[in-house]
Each structure stands twice: as C-alpha cells, then as structure tokens.
Chains A and B, each alone.
Chain A
Amino acid sequence: MVSPRTAEAIKHVIEETERHGLLAIEGIRKEFPGVVALDNVQLRVRRGTVHALMGENGAGKSTLMKIIAGIYQPDAGEIRLRGELVTLKSPLDALEQGIAMIHQELALMNWMTVAENIWIRREPKNRFGLIDHGRMAEMTADLFARLRIKLDPRAQVSELTVAQKQMVEIARAVSYDSSILIMDEPTSALTDREVEGLFSIIRDLRERGIGIVYITHKMNELFEIADEFTVFRDGKYVGSHLSTDVNRDDIIRMMVGRDITDMFPKIECPIGEVILEVRNLTIPGVFHDISFSLRRGEILGLAGLVGSKRSNVAEAIFGVTPATSGEILVNGTAVTIGSPSAAMAQGFAFLTEDRKETGCFLSLNCLENIQSALITRSHVKGGFVDQSTVTKLAEDMARQLRVKTPNLYETVENLSGGNQQKLLIARWLLTKPRILILDEPTRGIDVGAKSEIHRLITGLAAEGVAVLMISSELPEVLGMSDRIVVMHEGRVSGVLDRADATQVKIMDLAAR
C-alpha cells in the first residue's frame, strides 16, 4: 500500500525524469589555467538509450566525462540526475549515486582476482569478520549470469584480454546499480568479434533502462550502437540529434565546422623502381613467409585484423625484433638489419603504433622530441649537439606540418593526440627517410588532423618516398594505398591492387 504522499513523490520524480531525462547537464563551464575547456555545454541522456558524445580531440568530451564521473568539479552549471540537482564530489560519490565510468585506460588491479576487483571495499564477510571468498565468487557468478558474461570469478585480472577486462569493469559498474554508464572509446583495443560481444552487452544494458554515454571516434560505431548523439566543438555545445536523422557528412560537418570533401586526398603520382623487397620473412610462432615489394612513390597498405601480426612484421623490418629467417633487400641488395639504428642507416623510418608508449617522450618538450632521431646520426660534433641548426630544422619542419603549439619548448604531454603524431612524423622526416613505415598513423586523432596527416603522406609519396602503412581503418587503407597486402594470422593472405580493392575483398582475405 503506497501512501498518497509517497505516490505523489514518485509521480513527481517520474515527471521530473521525463522533463529532464535521466541525466541532464546544463551550462557547465570548466576552466584550466589558460584554457576554457568547457563553455556553457549541455548534455541530456534519456533512460535506456545509448548517447554518443562526439567531437574532435580537444573538444571537451573527456573533460565533461570527468566532471560527470566526479573526477573534476565544474566551475559553473548544474547536473541533474533523475531531475534532482546533484553534486559529484569524487569518483566514489558518483559511483554511489549511480554513475560509473569505464575508463579508457582500464582501471583494474592486476594480480587480484576478478571477484576481488569487483567487490573491493564491499567484500562480503563471514561471522568472524573475515572476507568470505566463496560467497564473493558466488556473488560475482550471479552478476555475470545476469549480464551473460562468461568469465571465471577467480581468474586473475592480469591474465584476461582487454575485452574481458572491459567486461569486468562493466560488471563492476552494474554491481553498483549504476543508471548511467560512461564509456570512453571502449572499442579502441578490441577485435571485431570482441566489439560484437561488447555491443551485445551494451544493447542488453540499454534494455534494462541504463543510460549509456558513449565516446567514440568511429563513425560506423555511432550508427550501429547509438540512439542519439551530441557534438562538442572547441569546448562548446554544437548540437544533439537522433542518429537516424543524420548521415556521416552531417556529423563531420558538425564536428569540424566545415566540409571535408575529401577525407583521403589521394594524389596519383608516378611510381618508381622497387626500393624494398622482403622475402620469406619469418619469426616462428609469430609470422611466416612474409614476402612483398615496395616501390618509390608507392603507398603500400598493410591490412588485417588485430592479431594478424602486422606490427610485428614492421618491427622486424625496422630491426626492433629482427626476423629469424628471410631476406630484406634494399635497392636490390640484401641487407642485415639487426637494430633500429641499422635500419635508419638504410634510410628507414618507423612511426610506431602506440604514440604514448613507444613514440613520444611525454615529459620532454617538442624540440627534444623532434630532434631525437636526427641527432643519433648527424649534427653532433665531439658529443655536442649543433643545437642552433637542429632547432632551425625542427622549427621549419614543425611549421611545415602545422604543429599547433605555443612554441617548441612546450612539454609534449600538453599537446593533443593529433599534434603529438605530427611531432613524431616531423621527427622521422628530419632523417630524410627513403622508406617510411607508418603503424596506425591516424589512430585516436581527430578528423581535421587526420586529413592533414593523409595529405602529408601522399605528399611524401609524390616526392618519391616509399610508404608502408599499417591501418585498421578500411576506408583509410582503401583511400590511401596504391596496393594492399592483407595479412591473416601471421601470413600474407592476399595482395590487392587499388583498382579492384574493396572493403569486402579485404575483409574476406583478413577474416578467412
């Protein structure tokens, strides 16, 4: 029996919820020293929907998510949860009010079990006040059964794949009875198959009435999983629409505020003689019998699913982990490349896949980042760097690549992903490479910077540089490459010419 007053209160909550949605954010402003990260932005998330939050890097998406997750405090504006004004003082506070964030850098404790990770701080206890591990495993199993996740509660987190770790995070969020789930680029490290698994769970959560805020760079994901979306640009709110009401171009226009007519500005340029030939390159158990050739002025795409060992091939060619058998020929002569410096001596340059881990020196400044490869080979006399010449070269290169930074003495961690990537490209271009290996050159960077980098790559090819480009984005591979080598589980499964390559053909070869 519900008292009239309670009934009234419930009705009020329902009305408020309908008026504002599950989560309503209004007029949020956040300033950091020197920058306005968010200026009067809004976001409304309804019950049982997936709401995509889009925008270029630096648009303020992550800042807003951190505010919603209680990590940052806004300078102005209000957050309403089910119509009620709330303040979110800490991540824990947000979690207890029903807002959970699945972090891009996964926030789990390795070496502890799945169950321990989920119930930390809330462990069930037996009558002696000690933690009841059996009960904890049961609670986890129940939770997993509800979410249809198949994982052993007693497995150690360090032994899980990225996808499985994500599921543990999702389960943890659900275990707090969260009504809002924030996912920051959840698919960035997943295989297609794993993405499907994740999407099933997301759809399932949506059915349960949970509101999901989904940050992504990938346009096709937006159309596949999101019901609505909101676009931010330069810390400002641009607009919100149902995802069925718009197309890809509309969204890109909203994000960059201009038309990008040609995302992949491929210029046909003359292709010269063979400069690199790889014959039967093998590392047993990793990849086998990799053979292909690369010509001057050619862009050779290297496609394949995650796990096809494309990056390992690139690392072998550049001497990071040399192949155990097989031949590498440069200009028709067999060469031995036992280390990156040997590769550089042959005119190779290698932009690695993971900008933060193997690319940038995050705590050093732009100049130091740009010059690092150059000064291993030249511009050093008696141990002293010829700093004035190097600085001039670096400045010219940075200007040419349009790196956005106040000056070259800015610490690189303060730069956006796109600018960091440009710096790394600048680093390698200073070494005047003849063969440029690019591993995911545009991963995780915004649309504008992406097309600039594409333009740059085709420009280099036009100057006669041979480019080997690994990319997981099919449109990028198709748009940029003259030829495409497709790999599947450590073997070349096919080579396609630009003329007859299609997404279907590539996927066919890559997935087998």
Chain B
Amino acid sequence: MNTITQPVPQLQQTRRRVPPELTILLVLVGISLTFEILGWILQGQSFLGNTQRLSIMILQVSVIGIIAIGVTQVIISDGIDLSSGSIVGATAMIAMSLAQVGTFERALYPGLTDLPVIVPVLAGLLVGVVCGAINGLLIAYSRIPPFIATLGMMVTARGFAKWYTKGQPISFPTDSFAAIGKGLAPVLIFLIVAAIMHVVLRYTRYGKFTYAIGANKQAARVSGIDVERHTVKVYAVAGLLSALAGIVVASRGLTAQAGMGTSYELDAIAMAVIGGVSLSGGRGSILGTMIGMVIFGVIISGFTFLRLDAYYQEMLKGIIIVAAVVADVYRQRKRVKTA
C-alpha cells in the first residue's frame, strides 16, 4: 500500500501564538503608566521621567536578578531553590575573608591578605557550586522533594555563615575586590549572565534537557536523558549564580555579614514567577524573568515614590506574588479546556 486513502488527522495551520513575554511586557507597561498617572495626581511629578530613580531601581533589582536567572532554570526543570539567599550569605563571608587588605591589622587570616582578586572570587563561586551540587545530588539521587532539600541547605548555609566568624562582620576588602560591585557593575554582570543563560536555555542541549525534564520527567528519561545528572547540573548552576550575587553584594557593601541575602530566594522566585515561569515546570524564559524583575523593581520603587509605608509594600509584594501564581494556574486551566 503506497498511498493513504484514509484521512490522516491533520493540524490546521498553527496559529502564531502571542509570546507570553509580550503579555508580561504589557503588564509592565500598564503598571508603569499607573504609577506615572498616580505620580502626577498625588505627587505632582513624573515617575518615569526621573532617570536617576530608574537607574537606582535597576541597580537594586539586578543583584537579586542574577539569582533569579539561576532560579528560573531550576523552576523550568520543575524544581525550586530556597537556598539562594543563604548561599549569598555564605559566599559573601568566604569571599570577603580572602579579600581583606594587609593594612587592616585584625584581618581574619593575617597571612592571607592582599590576595589577587581571582582568589576570593573563585573561592566564593566554588562554595556556591558545592552547595548547589549538594542540593542537586540530594534531589536527584535520594529523591527528596526539592523544597525540603533546598530548605535544608537554606538553614545549613546560613548557619555556616554565622559560625564562620561567630557572627562578626568582615570588612576592608582590597580595591580590586571592591571594584566588582561598584557603580553600575552589578547591572552589567546581570546583563552578561542573562544573555548567556538566554542562549544556553534556547540553543543548547543543556537548555533542551532542562525544559524536557520540567515538562515530563518520565518522557525525558525514556528519551535517554540522564535526568539525575542533569538535575545536579541545574542546581549547581543555580548555586553558582547565587554565589556570584553574594560576591557582588559583599563587594558593593565593602563588608560581609552572615545575614546578607536573607529572603533573596523568595524575591528571586517571585521575579521568575511574575515573569511567567511556571511553577509546574517546563515553561518560562529568561526574557520573561527579566521583565518580571523590572516589574518587581517598578512596584517597589513606585510605592516608595508614592511614599507608601514600607509595611504596606511588603504586604502588597506578597499579594502580587500570589496573583502571579494564580495567573499561571489560570492560564494552564484555560489551555487544558481548549485542548
């Protein structure tokens, strides 16, 4: 039999879908315009017109943005990472302890001062990768839910950061270490990280595997993907980026404290979720997270601009995060219905 006479079920020309990023972008525009209008009414000045405010806003969110990039790929693989904030604290302490100047006589390691900047940076990144890899190993091989494994790491890493100096802050970094977080450098670092991860997720096997595992772990395994090994990689990369954020924070603050990065993990998750990364895995993009990050920044800076009480800000932040998840769930339900 060479020709098929029976009708083969056929797909109509696929309609070009509106990319989800566009919807989120529209939300961003809407929120910005709302603040603009409220600004003119309540404060008698422009919200968007103030470039200084905007650059401060971007600077504020880009450190957490670096974490959000790592968290994005974790969530796409159907995981979650609660340990990023604590990894920030732990790496800040480690990196700073190796970045002190010799002229400071109470340096933590008097014999290890004035080291080239690469030493504290690599040491910090190593801490992050190790913490991330431990997360990944626990999740992949002992089958602990990601929530629990990273919760454990969150508490442990924070404890480690406090134990490291018995709670004392570490200060006086070398000039070269201090340069890492100076001025707009964090924004630049964020943009580079985001660009790399965008390409990695979209055009490399690493990215395809990440999406595949998040979309259907069993199918990924049947397709021959080593799900466990890839999971370890994904969490290690998330740890690496948290560590990078930790180094930037320490450098910018010229000091490291054990409490640094507290609740950053939640802000990073919020940015990803607002940016359309689905908590049920398989969907989301770096572009989305970037827009989510800006929305997050605009809201915080907008409330400050409107002189809203800081406590209101926090409550509203919580409501916005839940609203983003509700939107995601609603989108999924709609898809199921139309399918």
Contact = CB atoms under 8 A, between A and B. Distances in A.
Interface residues of A, number: 45
B319 interface: no
Nearest to B284: A111
Contacts of B211: 109, 111-112, 116
A164 B9 contact: yes
Contacts of A378: none
Given A107-B216, A109-B215, A160 B11 contact: yes
A164 B10 CA distance: 8
A111 B224 CA distance: 19
A55 to B, nearest CB: 24
Given A112-B215, A196-B6, A197-B9, A131 B14 contact: no
B166 interface: no
Contacts of A149: 8
A92 B209 CA distance: 15
Contact of A131 (B6, B9, B203): B203
A197 B8 contact: yes
B223 A120 contact: yes
Contacts of B6: 196-197, 199-200
A148 B8 contact: yes
Interface stretch (A151-159, A293-301, A366-374, A408-416): A151-159
Q: Give the secondary structure class of B's interface.
A: loop
A201 B6 CA distance: 10
A120 B212 contact: yes
Nearest to B218: A107
B9 A120 contact: no
A121 B202 CA distance: 14
B322 to A, nearest CB: 23
B222 A158 contact: no
Most buried by B among A106, A159, A194: A159
A164 B222 contact: no
Contact of B283 (A90, A111, A194, A201): A111
B11 A109 contact: no
Interface residues of B, number: 36
Contacts of A129: 204
A108 B282 CA distance: 12
Given A109-B215, A111-B215, A91 B221 contact: yes
Given A121-B205, A204-B1, A95 B7 contact: no
Contacts of A112: 208, 211-212, 215, 282
Nearest to A153: B14
B208 A123 contact: yes
A163 interface: yes
A103 interface: yes
B14 A152 contact: yes
A207 interface: yes
A44 interface: no
A158 to B, nearest CB: 7
B339 interface: yes
B196 interface: no
Contact of A121 (B5, B215, B216, B223): B223
A103 B13 CA distance: 27
B216 A163 contact: no
Interface in A81-125: 90-92, 95, 103, 106-112, 116, 120-121, 123
Contacts of A5: none
A246 interface: no
B7 A92 contact: no
B339 A158 contact: yes
B184 interface: no
Interface in A344-362: none
B307 interface: no
B225 interface: yes
B276 to A, nearest CB: 12
B4 interface: yes
Interface in B1-53: 1-2, 4-11, 13-14, 17
Interface string B328-339: 000000010001
Interface of B: 1-2, 4-11, 13-14, 17, 199, 202-205, 208-209, 211-212, 215-216, 218-225, 282-283, 335, 339
19 contacts: A91-B221, A92-B224, A106-B219, A107-B222, A109-B219, A109-B220, A111-B211, A111-B283, A112-B215, A120-B209, A121-B223, A123-B205, A150-B11, A158-B339, A193-B7, A193-B9, A197-B9, A199-B6, A200-B1
The 8 closest A-B pairs by CB, nearest first: A92-B224, A109-B215, A130-B203, A107-B219, A111-B282, A150-B10, A196-B6, A200-B4
Given A150-B11, A201-B4, 5 more contacts: A107-B222, A111-B211, A111-B215, A112-B282, A197-B9
